[in-house]
Amino acid sequence: MGIREEVEDMKKEVRAVKEQSLAFEMISDYKKQNKRLFIMWIITIIAFIGLLSYTIYLLNDIGTEEITTTETTTQEIEDVDSIDSSYIINGDNYGKN
């Protein structure tokens, strides 16, 4: 074997190592990409479940709210001028003096 043949063998080995490292690099990139996609999928599912839960909560909350009505009552007083400390004179409110 001469030097030339050894150099050729070394070049073949270097090419084989480069091809092998390229394949390993592609596999590792593929694994990283799959991991990122899985994490994004998990985040999307969690967000969807949260949105669905909040929507159900709102639908249930809107239906159970009780509406309270305030009743106003009026009282008729015939002789307002006779009440002590009254600011109402002949049906007109004059406020405090």
Per-residue pLDDT reduced to its tens digit, 27-57 = 889 999 999 999 999 999 999 999 999 999 8
What are the tens digits of pLDDT across the range 54-76?
999 888 877 655 656 667 777 67
Residue 88 β-bridge partners: 93
Q: What is the CA radius of gyration of the chain?
A: 44
pTM: 0.44
Q: What is the DSSP track for 1-18? A: --HHHHHHHHHHHHHHHH
Residue 60 β-bridge partners: none
